[in-house]
Amino acid sequence: MAKEGVKLLDFWASPFCMRAKIALGEKGVAYEGQEEDLFGGKSELLLSSNPIYQKVPVLLHNDKPIVESSNIVTYIDEAWPAPPLMPACAFGRARARFWADFIDKKIFEGGSKIWMSKGEELEVAKNEFIDILKKLEGALGEKDYFNGDTFGFVDIILIGLTSWFFAYEKFGGFKVEDHCPTFSAWIKRCMERESVSKVIPAPESVCECVVMLRKMHGVE
Amino acid sequence: MSDHVVLLDSYPSMFGMRVRIALAEKGIEYEYKEEDLSNKSPLLLKMNPVHKKIPVLIHNGRPVCESLVEVQYIDEVWKDKSPLLPSHPYQRAQARFWADYVDKKIYDAGRKIWTTKGEEQETAKNELIDCLKVLEGELGDKPYFGGESFGFVDIALLPFSTWFYAYETLGNFSIEAECPKLIAWVNRCKEKETVSKSLSDPHKVYEFVLGLRKKLGI
């Protein structure tokens, strides 16, 4: 086990893996990344360290596995307390967990409905997705980050998912910026952070991934 | 400083029961408000505009939503008594993982049992039993999921036991026959007064489910 005993089982296009990488980056924790071939064959290590879901990301800290991306980010925040990713007060933390849960329930599934459907269904999916982003805009308000003045937990939970927006925009025939300019400004602000920009893949590459997924699901 | 705590809830809700148990464990006095989910109160709609769901914990006028978020909030604010989560980050991560597993698996599998028939219902029954067996495995020989002391995962799962009678009656099977250790754990937890006074009556839950089925035309 190299690098402070921290290893991350990863997949380059996974917005959930991006969460873990950004959190580790924010804490300045060095880690060994192991890219998993999700379509070719998952490694023995992945299957044995996450037997229930068999998914990435998996964080291994001194060989002990932590799974589920939001859980991993919370663990990283608690195991390496500085700088804190969560607000100091309990109510602020409850709000952060609430929005992280909202993001987990709505964004990836909402976006998937866009690239998986056509015609009338696609229109509905697109409008629902925009509504979800508007709710998040409401939560962001006038703040620089969802966490307040500083980049934090909710920002980390959300920003990786935005790397898939280019694909949603392409297949949905819309632009997030036209409907949610505040949200788009927040994306740009986060992308200026090194911990974010070095792990977010090029949107065009993610789009190619989505094209492949569409084929696999028999869309068009 | 005196705290004003209100819980917007619905008697049969397993999610509401989680918060009731946590409040009882900490000895917190609160005002319980029963919501009619077919006619939600302006207070509920104001306090949870995003999901419009119960339970909602209102602490000194500020709302906390989503049951596991509420339980964690209760644990953090009233931290001097009965800790619900372990103190070590790795054990905390394990506790959150298993509570999340309960959230992902148990509700949907249970719901399919009382909303379907025939082949679909058989599949749902097997799914529920499989998930409960995984949880039984995680419990092992420990008295509680939290180890020696009752905690977060126990609170996350326990309320579903009040729906077992409904699942068993409508699905014509016995959970105890398949998962005896889990039922032993349920009974152990119910010896705690904080639990027994917070859990709803399984027969009343069953009546509620029958009413829901009628409404849904099942």
CB of A109 within 8 Å of a chain B CB? The answer is: no
Per-residue confidence (pLDDT) for residue A1, from 0 to 100:
43
Q: How many CB atoms lie within 10 A of CB B29?
A: 9
> Phi and psi dihedrals of B136, rounded to 5?
-60, -40
Q: What is the pTM of this model?
A: 0.96
Measure the CA–CA gap between B208 and B195, rounded to whole angstroms.
21
Per-residue confidence (pLDDT) for residue A3, from 0 to 100:
56
ipTM, two decimals, is 0.96
Measure the CA–CA gap between B87 and B92, rounded to whole angstroms.
7
Measure the CA–CA gap between A114 and A174, rounded to whole angstroms.
11
Please give, rounded to a whole number of angstroms, the shortest distance from the CA of A204 to a CA of chain B: 32
Measure the CA–CA gap between A71 and A19, rounded to whole angstroms.
10
Please say if the pLDDT value at position A131 is more than 60. yes
Query: What are the tens digits of pLDDT across the range A163-177?
Result: 999 999 999 999 999
Contact residues, A window 66-95, toward B, CB-based 8 Å cutoff: 66-68, 71-72, 74-75, 78-79, 90-91, 93-94
Per-residue confidence (pLDDT) for residue B59, from 0 to 100:
98
Q: What angle do CA A169, A175, A180 make, to 5 degrees?
A: 125
Q: Whose CA is closest to B55, among B68, B74, B72?
A: B68
Compute chain A's Rg from CA coordinates. Answer: 17
Report cis status (omega within 30 of 0) of the bond before A15.
Answer: no
Looking at residues B6-24, what average pLDDT do you find?
A: 98
Query: What are the tens digits of pLDDT across the range A60-114?
Result: 999 999 999 999 999 999 999 999 999 999 999 999 999 999 999 999 999 999 9
What's the token pair of residue B86? 């372990």
Query: What are the tens digits of pLDDT across the range B196-217?
Result: 999 999 999 999 999 999 999 9
**What integer best gives the mean pLDDT of chain B?**
97
Looking at residues B124-142, what average pLDDT do you find?
A: 97
Measure the CA–CA gap between A213 and A116, rounded to whole angstroms.
9
Whether B101 and B200 have beta carbons less than 8 Å apart is answered as no
Query: What are the tens digits of pLDDT across the range B32-59?
Result: 999 999 999 999 999 999 999 999 999 9
In chain B, whose CA is at the least distance from the CA of A132? B50
Please give, rounded to a whole number of angstroms, the shortest distance from the CA of B55 to a CA of chain A: 13
Please give, rounded to a whole number of angstroms, the shortest distance from the CA of B177 to a CA of chain A: 24
Residue A79: its chain B contacts at CB < 8 A?
89-90
CB of A62 within 8 Å of a chain B CB? The answer is: no
Residue B67: its chain A contacts at CB < 8 A?
none
Please give, rounded to a whole number of angstroms, the shortest distance from the CA of B67 to a CA of chain A: 10
Q: Residue type for B13, please?
A: S
Task: Report the DSSP beta bridge partners of residue B34.
Answer: B9
